[in-house]
Amino acid sequence: MKAIVCKNVKKDDRQIIEQVLEKLKSFGLDAAFSPQVHNDCDVIITVGGDGTILHHGKKAAEINKPLLGINTGKLGFMTSLETNELDLLEKLTTAENHIFPRMMLDVIIGGACFSALNDAVFYKDVTAKLPEFKLSVNGNSVSEIRADGLIMSTPTGSTAYALSAGGPIIEPFLDCVLFTPLCAHSLFGRPMIFGGEHELTVEFSGEPDTVSVSVDGETGRALKRGEKAVIRKSDLRLSLIDIKGNSFYNAVNNKLIRPLK
C-alpha cells in the first residue's frame, strides 16, 4: 500500500509529518510527503485540521482515493486521529478500519461549477441593505426571506457554519441539503432540510447589485441580481477513513458537548 501525506499549507507541521511517515514505514507502508494530492497512491493522509481536509478532499474525491485526517488544528471534527494516536495507523494495513462516503454539492453559477464538501454561503456586503433571497426546489418557490445571507450545506457541513447559525446537526451519512438563513429579518426564518435528489436554486432581489458566494470558505464568487445559483448533489463523494470507529458521534460528544460543560 502506498500513502501520501499532505499538510496544512498555513501551518508548520514538519515534526508531526516526520512522525507519521516513520510510523507508516514501520508498518510496512510505502509513504512519502507531497504538498498536493496526486493519483499515485492508495490512501491520502492529511495533517492539519478540518480546513486541510476541505482543501485536499475535493481532489481526493475527484481521483476516488480514501482520505484519513490527523488533527493538529483546533477542532478537527472530520479528522480520525489525534497526534497521540499514531500507533493506530497500523490498522491501515488490516481490515480494522471503516470508509464512509461523504456527500458533496455542485454549486453552479454562470456556467461555472464549484464542489462543496461543507457548504456554499451567500452573504451581503456589510454596508449593503438587506437583499431578499428566494429559494426554489425543483422550480417551486419555497422561501422568500430578507436576510444577511443564507447557507446551503451538506450533512458534513451541518456541524460547521450552519451549526453556529442555529442549524441542526445531521448525521454525515445521509443524503440531504440543509438550508440555514443568516440573521433573517423574520420571526419565521428557520432552517429547512431537503432530500438530496432535489435541485435547489438561489436568487435574490433588492438594492444590492451582487451578493458574495463562498464555497467551503475558499472559493469566492459574485452572484448578480436576477442570476440563479443551482445547488445539487454532486456525483463526487469523499471517502473518509474512520480508524477508531464512531468518530462522528465521539466528535459530537467530545468536541461540541463536553467543552460546554
Q: Give DSSP secondary structure letters for 111-132.
A: TEEEEESSEEEEE--TTSPPPE
Does the pLDDT of residue 10 top 70, yes or no?
no
pTM of the model: 0.91
CA-to-CA separations, 37 to 40, 60, 85, in angstroms, rounded: 9, 7, 23
- Which residues have a catalytic role annotated? 50
User: Which residues, listed in sequence order, are joined to residue 214 by a DSSP beta bridge?
Assistant: 121, 220
Give residue-wise pLDDT tens across range 203-260.
999 988 999 999 999 877 899 999 999 999 999 999 999 988 877 888 888 777 765 4
Q: Let me know: does 178 contact 164? Beta carbons within 8 Å.
A: no
User: Which residues, listed in sequence order, are joined to residue 140 by a DSSP beta bridge?
Assistant: 137
Give residue-wise pLDDT tens across range 144-158.
999 999 999 999 999
pLDDT of residue 140: 97
Cell digits of residue 121: 454561503
Supply the DSSP symbol for 16. Answer: H
